[in-house]
Structure 1
Amino acid sequence: MAEEELHGIQIHLDRILAERGMTLTELSAQVGITVVNLSVLKNGRAKAIRFSTLSRICDVLGCQPGDLITHDPAGPPPS
């Protein structure tokens, strides 16, 4: 298997869901995206996200894209 591409993008969906008292299943139903796809995003395994999806997530969670996604130029922590 090819080595995973390293990047400094971090997803904070788990923290925001906890702050809102919402489950991934509830978010999935309100946004119209499968739980599996949201889980891929939440766990940092997504390769991309559509702006329309990001917009719907932000609408439902009442947040800004920068609340969900940050960039750390040092890259991800070593596994």
Structure 2
Amino acid sequence: MPIVVDIDVMLARRKMPVGVLAERVGITPANLAVLKNGRAKAVRFSTLEALCEVLDCQVGDLLRWEPGPGEQSQGQTDRPVP
């Protein structure tokens, strides 16, 4: 999956247990696990806002895009550069 979820990284940096994060954000530990493990199909902006507020971070600290097999990042082409 090209979207990588780095909530575990921020939890480790903040030395915060998953259960505490879920409680402070206002979501169930099961829903946090779905998001944390990259199985979520969607995320509400209000949830991202709460995660960023509790973890004192930016959205880009929690989510990042990585090209998958056969994908290219924007600006890359298969054509040779003249």
User: CA shift at 1:15, angstroms?
Assistant: 0.9
What's the Cα RMSD here? 1.0
For these two proteins, the number of residue pairs brought into alignment is 69
The one of 13, 19, 24 aligned to 2:18? 24
Unaligned runs of 5+ in 2: 70-82
1:65 maps to 59
The one of 17, 28, 33 aligned to 1:34? 28
Runs of 4+ aligned structure 1 residues displaced above 3 Å come to: none
User: CA shift at 1:73, angstroms?
Assistant: 1.8
TM-score by length of 1: 0.83
The one of 41, 44, 48 aligned to 1:54? 48
Secondary structure of the 2:39 match is: coil
Q: Deviations over 1:12-66 (max 9, x none)?
A: 0011101100011000111110000000011111111000000000000000000
TM-score by length of 2: 0.80
The aligned amino acid for 2:47 is T
Query: How high is the sequence identity, in percent, across the aligned residues?
Result: 52
Query: Which structure carries more relative contact order (alpha carbon 8 Å, separation 6+)?
Result: 1
